[in-house]
Amino acid sequence: MRMGPGWKVFLLPALIAIWAVYYLAIPYPISKAPLEFTLEQGSLKHAAKQMEDAGILGNSFAFVMLARIMGKSSAIKAGNYELDHPLTPLQLLDRITSGDFTQSGITVVEGWTFKELRKALEANPDLRHDSTGLPDADLLSRIGAAQSSPEGLFFPDTYYFAKGQSDISVLGRAYVMMTKKFEKEWEGRSAGLPFSSPYEALTLASIVEKETGKAADRPMIAAVFANRLKLGMKLQTDPTVIYGLGDSFDGNLRKKDLLTDQPYNTYTRVGLPPTPIAMPGLKSIDAVLHPAKSGVLYFVAKGDGSSVFSNSLAEHNRAVNRYQKK
């Protein structure tokens, strides 16, 4: 019996219905358990793309259509999620629209060293401490970092996570955030800066972070160091010496410490230290990549958090006598 032309009208909806039943019944496979992912504030398509990038959705289009059909396209809750087993599309949609996430968090502070960051991670009871005892080189490899030292590579911010999430995951997010923030700033940097690589700029930003007592002074402090680098002068900054002393530093920087050569002693060596000495914030990064247009070469702390800047050694000595030797 020959079928009339109208059979296609009935067959197409039937095929769509069969596909829909199949799609809704099959759980999304996950590559590992638990699988952790974060949804940032944004549109349904943005959330679906984030889940696709996390390896949850093979194709986000069907999930987006499901959310719209179910009337939940505007109900996605930003947060940190963890999947300990595969979920069907409807179960996943319910999870991310019901707010079934954990808002534990950790704040990475501007000026922290990596040692201080690891200590804070280890002290957080809501994290899974996978990095404990892990050598720095192995940890860097786990987060996809090509640098040889972890110092300065993590962006100061507050990071939220699901309870039981790996501390390495948090470090990975902080590393990616620093990379993105710094790359954006580097692209718009001022001309004529004395850096042969972005890493050198990051290193100087960490010094500016540790040297700054008053936020408004950052561009001028950055100008001092940039000018010294251009002229081949020693940076002569105490925070680098203190960093190099490590655990032997007792809170009192002595003259012998300034005279004893070591890789981070900028009183005995010309140029930048081999690595950053802390995690710089965005304002310090911006100051280094856009220093004040000034010929200053010296600065001294006034004692109230601010600094006095000088173009010559004679001016600087007068400032030292006024503010440091009274």
pLDDT band at 274 (very low <50, low <70, confident <90, very high): very high
214 CB-near residues (< 8 Å, 6+ apart): 305, 306, 307
151-206 pLDDT, tens digit per residue, is 999 999 988 877 778 899 999 999 999 999 999 999 999 999 999 999 999 999 99
Q: Are 79 and 101 in contact (CB under 8 A)?
A: yes
Angle, vertex CA 107, rays to CA 187 and CA 245, nearest 5: 80
Q: How far is CA 292 from CA 6, 46, 174, 189, 225, in A?
A: 76, 39, 29, 12, 11
Query: What is the pLDDT at residue 4?
Result: 52
pLDDT single digits (tens) 278-306: 999 999 999 999 999 999 999 988 877 88
Q: Determine the pLDDT at residue 1.
A: 47
- Give Cα 129 to chain centroid, integer Å: 19
pLDDT level of residue 2 (50, 70, 90 thresholds) = low
Q: Is the pLDDT of residue 98 over 50?
A: yes
d(CA 257, CA 260): 5
Share of the chain above pLDDT 90, in %: 54
Residues of each domain in the chain carrying CATH 3.30.1490.480: 29-97
Q: Cα–Cα distance between 209 and 281 in angstroms, integer? A: 7
Confidence class for position 226, pLDDT limits 50, 70, 90: very high
**CATH assignment of 29-97, among 3.10.20.30, 3.30.1490.480, 3.50.50.60, 3.20.20.60:** 3.30.1490.480
Lowest mean pLDDT among 236-240, 263-267, 298-302: 298-302
